Structure 1
Amino acid sequence: MAPVLETKYVFTITARIADVISAGDIGTGVRRIIPIIGGEVKGEGISGKVLPLGADFQIIRPNELIELEAKYAFETDDGAVVYVENKGMRFGPVELLQKLKRGEPVDPKLIYFRTVPRFETGHAKYRWLMENIFVGSAARHADRVVIDVHQVL
């Protein structure tokens, strides 16, 4: 029997987003930039606010596979600033992805949206964020992205 990889839920990042900015078709897909304008972080032992800076940089491939790379930061309630680099992908039925692009609601269970967030901070209490691997299960809504972050044990 193959070994099982275990994870533990640690917190949720809700990143509020502004309107999509498109750089158009760059030959390998459509480049989009989605500004991150705020939000919150909530979990056991960690809570705070997503800072209104950074963005999600995406390429929508011709088959509608979306490659994502978000760079932003959050500040915990006790004053630690945590930088986030979150790479991932979103994929699903073309008609549902097109609804999402138009800002229409889609059941998140019908879209595969996974990420690998990396964190950086100089605050001793949150060094564990830099000493572990995390995976995220995410959902895109019209005005926000919700990422449930899990620590790989």
Structure 2
Amino acid sequence: MIDPPTVPALERAFEVNVRLGPLADHGQTRAGHRRVIPITGGEISGGVQARILPGGADWQLVRGDGAIDIDSRYSARTPDGEMVYLQVTGLRTGPADVLDSLLKGENIAPARYYFRTVITIETSAARLRHLEDSIFIASCARDADAVRYTAYRIT
């Protein structure tokens, strides 16, 4: 008999705090209701130490029910000058009143909505190359001017 695949587990990997700039609402486009939120900075801590650089963004699509498809891309630099590129995709959804409050920039307890993402990483730094060989998922929280998340490596 062939052994079954192993059951994945979650291993805490790193924490992220992404600072956000003012939202640009593009309105209804052929792809849907497009919003672009600039990334102005932030920090990565825990298993990876780095400063998030300004210049990235979250290119969101707001669904008809108020849920948001997340597509964020940004770069970070470690204290040693190594570059790390993060691509974050996911979903934020919940009750209509909670989603409406989040869209207005209000601080809402993360337990009141569902905000999960998948993170993929690229880097040329040899000592961080292991990050490219893993899949990370995150449980996220949206603050008025930031997104915070803890990333977990799927084993």
Give the TM-score, by structure 2 length: 0.93
For 1:30, the equivalent position in structure 2 comes to 33
Cα distance in 2 for partners of 1:50, 1:28 equals 28
Alignment of 1:98-109 (within 5 A): 98-109=100-111
Displacement of 1:76 after TM fit? 1.2
2:22 pairs with 1:13 = no
For residue 120 of structure 2, the aligned residue among 118, 121, 124 is: 118
- Given residue 110 of structure 1, which amino acid in structure 2 is its aligned partner? R
Question: Using the alignment, how far apart are the partners of 1:65 and 1:5 within structure 2?
Answer: 28
Which amino acid in 1 is paired with 2:97? E
The runs of 5 or more residues in structure 2 that have no matched partner are 1-5
CA RMSD after TM alignment: 1.4
CA distance in structure 2 between the aligned counterparts of 1:58 and 1:82, rounded to whole angstroms: 22
Report the AA paired with residue 94 of structure 2. Answer: G
Aligned match for 1:39, one of 34, 42, 67: 42
SS for the counterpart of 1:130 is helix
**Partners of 1:28 and 1:81 in 2: how far apart?**
31
Unaligned runs of 5+ in 1: none
Q: TM-score under structure 1 normalisation?
A: 0.94
Q: Deviations over 1:106-151 (max 9, x none)?
A: 0011111011111000100100110111111111100100021100
- In the other structure, the counterpart of 2:140 is 138
- Between 1:3-12 and 1:142-151, the stretch displaced more is 3-12
Question: What is the match of residue 3 of structure 2?
Answer: none
Q: Secondary structure, in 3 states, of the residue corresponding to 1:57? A: strand
What code does the residue aligned with 1:59 have?
L
Which structure would you say has the larger Rg?
Answer: 2
Q: Does 1:63 align with 2:62?
A: no
CA distance in 2, matches of 1:19, 1:30: 17
Q: Deviations over 1:43-80 (max 9, x none)?
A: 03x21210011100000000111101001111112221
- 8 Å Cα contact 1:28-1:61 kept in structure 2: no
1:150 corresponding residue in structure 2: 152
Count of residue pairs the alignment pairs up: 151
Structure 1 position 28, deviation (Å): 5.3
Q: Percent identity?
A: 37
Secondary structure of the residue aligned to 2:127 is helix
